[in-house]
Structure 1
């Protein structure tokens, strides 16, 4: 069982590391790392290639987290391994070996992981994200606020260790957005819908 758990976590990392944004952009003749923010994620794809490709990337990135958790559940590995697989998928997305251990910021994959582990926390995540982006058109602000709300909700739902896992994911997501935070403070952050 420990070997199966380790292999499942490794598979989750490798699945999470599939750079959908970069590969889809490449089919359009675009190197996503050299346009816009240089981020390999759905928001940069939306700015560079439009809504359709961005929706495809977002859906795939969400599934990376959700399917990693689901796989561990199907193998009856228990909630701690399920959480580890979700975290591994997020880490794979953010630090993909296919992109020189660079990647996206983990918003969609974090959401997929959280909603698979704690559906109510995932609901809080998506509601706050949509509301913030709708009101401000700032995806980065929506992402950070949504992850904080998901972490807070996780503490209400328990267990504490799982809430700490969600907190760690929120912390990683915020760290990945550190440049966006600086731009938010400076008032230079791009808003949703702005093209590259």
Structure 2
């Protein structure tokens, strides 16, 4: 079982490291790391290439997280180890060997992991995150608020301690990845969605 767990974690990391944003942008003659924020994620693709490519990238990245959890379960791992496979996918997305150990900020992939592990938490992220983005047009604020919502919901709905811990860890990583965005929000110069650079 230890060997199976290690194999599942490695495969999940590789799955998560597949850089959909970079590949989609490259197919259109764009190096996503050299435009906009330089981030290999759906938001930067939206700003650089438009809604269609961004939607594809977002769905791909969500699916990576959910599939990693499913893979762990399919290999006979328990819920905790299977969810850790999802965490490995997020780490692969954020620190991809295909992009020189850089990547995205893990928002969509974390959403896929949390939703696969506990759909009620995923629903909370979706409602609060999208509502915040719609009202403020700050993607970063919606992402952070959605993740924090998942932690609060995990506590309120009495999720297992291990799941609350995993969700908290993913949220902490997401907040860390957004540290520059948070500084810009505090300074009042964060870009809104659809706002010219």
- The TM-score normalised by the length of structure 1 is 0.98
Residue equivalent to 1:190: 191
Which portions of structure 1, spanning 4 or more consecutive aligned residues, are displaced by more than 3 angstroms?
none
Cα distance in 2, alignment partners of residues 151 and 185 from structure 1: 23
Alpha-carbon distance in structure 1 between the residues aligned to 2:48 and 2:195? 9
Segment of structure 1 superposing worse, 75-84 or 17-26: 75-84
Unpaired runs of 5+ in structure 2? none
- Which residue in the other structure is 1:137 paired with? 137
Indicate the residue corresponding to 2:178 in structure 1.
Answer: 177
How many residues in Structure 1 have an aligned counterpart in Structure 2? 196
Q: Give how far 1:76 is off.
A: 2.1
Q: Secondary structure at the residue paired with 2:24?
A: helix
Tell me the distance in 1 between the aligned counterparts of 2:178 and 2:144: 8
5 Å-filtered alignment, 1:12-161, equals 12-156=12-156, 157-161=158-162
Q: CA deviation at 1:72?
A: 1.1
- Give 1:119 shift: 0.6
**Which runs of 5 or more residues in structure 1 are unaligned?**
none
Deviation of 1:194 after TM superposition, in Å, equals 3.1
In 1, are the aligned partners of 2:80 and 2:162 still within 8 Å (CA)? Answer: no
Rounded Cα–Cα distance in structure 2 between residues aligned with 1:97 and 1:75:
25
Does the 8 Å contact 1:22/1:40 carry over to 2?
yes
